Amino acid sequence: MKIKMDDSVKELKAVWMDEKKVNMIDQRYLPSELKFFIAEDFKDIHSAIKNMVVRGAPTIGVTAAYGMAQAIIMDEDTRKAAEIIRSARPTAYDLFHAVDYMLDNITRPKEAAEEYASSVVEKCRKIGENGAKLIEDGYDILTHCNAGALATVDHGTALAPIRASARDGKDIHVYVDETRPRLQGARLTAWELYNEDISHSVIVDNASGYYMQRGDIDIVIVGTDRIVSNGDIANKIGTYEKAVVAKENDIPFYVAAPVTTYDELMEKGNDIPIESRDDDEVRMINGSLITPKRSPVKNPAFDVTPAKYITGYITEKGIFSPSERKEMF
């Protein structure tokens, strides 16, 4: 991904491994500071995923693959390392997929992890190529959370077709939901679009219905943490509402993801484990309390969008509708 520095432009990935260390852009500090986190071993990887130094399903998967590579190279108990890494976050299927992939490739850890990372990036590049066919010149696109390069090592899933369309010279504008409580839209998606010079406006989460109802949005594209057998998906809290409002207003709602996000053994969306995060993410903004001290809060990090609200899935294999999903996945 392109990152504008004071007097130059840098190309960086969200996470990469050199020798035995795993380097990542520390997403907790963006957009104000570009800082890096270095994981020395799989325990650091577990804490980086859990504390959202890195986040976004495909990036979580690649980081986990590198952590498993570290554990294998350092002769740690790999079953134990796998168990600890898997426990970092519950919703993104890529995490479990990546750990299983590494356990199947235990004799060549570094190569296998690098292959896994490159395949994620290549899949996202193709998602961009395929999804760009849905975006016409002059389109206004709504997206939720961050499903960009930061979330996928490079390119993005939901942001990949947007990047590809901008590169093709299409005149597009992106409405970026701020995405409370962690503000992945306001902090990370807006930062990526700024770095790529793609026209965008950050809106508060509650404003997307207003813009959809006015006819200002041509298409909604989001990423996902898990697609299950009946076609339901889990994505950042608030996605469900966007999908329902999109359907009400006849706006196509697309979910972009590599086919490895498909959990074929899980039957329906309500079976997906939904992460509950710390109360303080809701209670505090920039270190200041915004609720009465004693008010209890709830903080689910994801919700489920039923397949009936999804127009199609944009994957590296092509674009297909919920009714075509079994065959395609």
Which spans of this chain sit near ligand MRU (rule: CB under 6 A)? Answer: 55-58, 92, 145, 147, 151-152, 157, 184, 223-225, 235-236, 301
Nearer to ligand MRU, 63 or 311 (CB): 63
Only one residue has tokens 């209890």, namely 296
Supply φ then ψ for residue 313, to 5 degrees.
-110, 130
Least distance to ligand MRU, CB of residue 143, Å: 9
Could you identify the residue written with the tokens 């395929």? 130
- Which of 284, 261, 245, 250 minimizes the C-alpha distance to 58? 261
Q: How far is the CB of 27 from ligand MRU (least distance, A)?
A: 8
User: Based on CB atoms, which residue is closest to ligand MRU, 109 or 156?
Assistant: 156
In the complex, minimum distance from the CB of residue 178 to ligand MRU, in angstroms, rounded to a whole number: 13
Based on CB atoms, which residue is closest to ligand MRU, 58 or 322? 58
For residues 288 and 280, give the distance between their C-alpha atoms in angstroms, rounded to a whole number. Answer: 10
Instruction: Return the closest-CA partner of residue 91 out of 226, 182, 222.
Output: 226
CB of 287 to ligand MRU, least distance (A): 20
Shortest distance (Å) from residue 159 CB to ligand MRU: 8
Residue owning tokens 């426990």: 87
Q: Is 216 a catalytic residue?
A: no
Place of tokens 């961009």: 128
* Peptide linkage before 258 cis (omega within 30 of 0): no
From the list 80, 57, 56, the residue with the least C-alpha distance to 67 is: 80
Query: Which residue lies nearer to ligand MRU by CB, 215 or 300?
Result: 300
Q: Which is nearer to ligand MRU, 90 or 209 (CB)?
A: 90
Cα dist. 308→83, 228, 233 in Å?
35, 13, 11
d(CA 182, CA 164): 27
CB 179 within 8 A of CB 187: no
DSSP code at position 275: P
Please state the closest distance from residue 215 (CB atom) to ligand MRU, in A: 25
Q: For ligand MRU, which is the closer residue by CB, 42 or 93?
A: 93
Dihedral Cα 192, 196, 199, 204, nearest 10 deg: 0
CA angle 213, 216, 217 (to 5 degrees): 90
Annotated catalytic residue, options 94, 154, 225, 303 = 225
Residues acting as catalytic residues: 225
